[in-house]
Structure 1
Amino acid sequence: MANLEQLALFQEDTILWNRWREENPQVRPDFAGVDFSGLDLRGHNFSGVDLTDANFRGGDLIKADFSEAILDEADLSNSDLIKTDFSNADLSNADLSESGTRESDLSGANLKEANLIGTDLAGANVIGANLSNADLIGANLEGASLVKANLSHADLSGANLSRASLIKTNLAGASLIGANLSGANLSGANLNGANLSGANLEGAVMPDGKVNQQSTQK
């Protein structure tokens, strides 16, 4: 249940709230289940906050700080998340579908079973993140860094992974049907059991370090 006193401070003054968060990093504010949908929350500091099942749908969260926050089952769909910091956050089962998440920081984040259908993650930092069993159908990951990320059994059907860095990424059992992996770096990646039917691998660096010359996998 949300802490009403902390929520009142948050709603009263952004500057005071951000300052309070900086001065009290050991405190984990409780905003579980709070409805923030459609609000302008650019640059707000949610670091370490418990936002379990919170609703941010359609909000403006550009450059907001969610580092180490708990966002389990939170709704961030259709939100503006450009350059937002989600490093080491728990986003398991969260809904980020159709959100604009370009150049965001998701390094070390837990996105297990998250909904990322149609999400724009171009240029995002997803290094070491856990996206196992996540739904990334049609997602845009062009130029994203997914080094050592766990994408085992994730659904990346139709996703754009062109020029993405997938070095030592775990893609075991993942669906990459019709995905665009042109120019991607898959050096040392685990593709055991992955489905690459119809995927574009032209110019991609394969797990063995060799550059693929074939445009489409059969």
Structure 2
Amino acid sequence: MANTEHLALLQQGTTLWNEWRAQYPEIQPNLRQARLRGWSLQGVNFVGADLREANLYEADLSQSRLNGANCNSADLRKVNLAMADLSEANLISADLRKANLTQANLTSANLKVAFLRQANLQKANLSEANLEGADLSGVNLKGARINRVNLKTANLTGVDLTQLDGMEVIMPDQTT
């Protein structure tokens, strides 16, 4: 369950939240199972935050910092994560269907068995990301950077891989 003090602070707005994060960078926010559906959180600092099983359906997290955050099994459907930093984030089993990840940084993110069906990953950086077993059907990867991406057992139905930036990919028939 989410820390009620952390949730109350976040409810006061992104500016106050980010000031608190700057003042106490050693605190790892606990927003586990928080209900943040539809919240406007542009530019929020969720670095290293525990967002496991959080409901962020249709929230606006554009230009936010989620690097190193634990978003395991989070509901991120239709979330706006345009230009967000999700490097090294744990997104195992996260539901990102129809999410906007345009120009997002997903370097070294763990998206194992994540649901990304019809997500927009245009110009996103997926370098060294783990997408093993992920559902990428219908995803827009135009201009995406995919250097050293693990796509073993990933569902790539309807994905156009011809307009990518970087092609070093670990496919199902390769070994690590």
How does the TM-score come out when normalised to structure 1?
A: 0.69
Separation in 1 of the partners of 2:92 and 2:133? 10
Q: Which has the higher contact order (CA 8 A, sep 6+)?
A: 2
- Is 2:4 the counterpart of 1:31? yes
- Is 2:39 the counterpart of 1:79? yes
Q: How many residue pairs align between the two structures?
A: 164
Distance apart, 1:206 and its partner CA: 2.2
Aligned to 2:167: 206
Rg larger for: 1
Aligned to 1:177: 137
C-alpha RMSD of matched pairs (Å): 2.6
Unpaired stretches in structure 2, ≥5 consecutive residues: 171-176
For residues 136-165 of structure 1, the C-alpha deviation after alignment (integer angstroms, 9 at most, x for no partner) is 000000000000000000000000001000
Distance apart, 1:41 and its partner CA: 1.9
For residues 19-63 of structure 1, the C-alpha deviation after alignment (integer angstroms, 9 at most, x for no partner) is xxxxxxxxxxx52696789x552412354xxxxxxxxxxxxxxxx
Separation in 2 of the partners of 1:75 and 1:33? 13
Separation in 1 of the partners of 2:7 and 2:12? 15
- One-letter code aligned to 2:47: S
Q: 1:80 to 1:34 in 2, by over 3 A?
A: closer
Q: Which of 55, 62, 75 is matched with 1:95 structurally?
A: 55
Separation in 1 of the partners of 2:48 and 2:95? 19
Unpaired stretches in structure 1, ≥5 consecutive residues: 3-29, 48-64, 210-218
Separation in 2 of the partners of 1:202 and 1:93? 34
For residues 149-186 of structure 1, the C-alpha deviation after alignment (integer angstroms, 9 at most, x for no partner) is 00000000000001000000000000000000111111
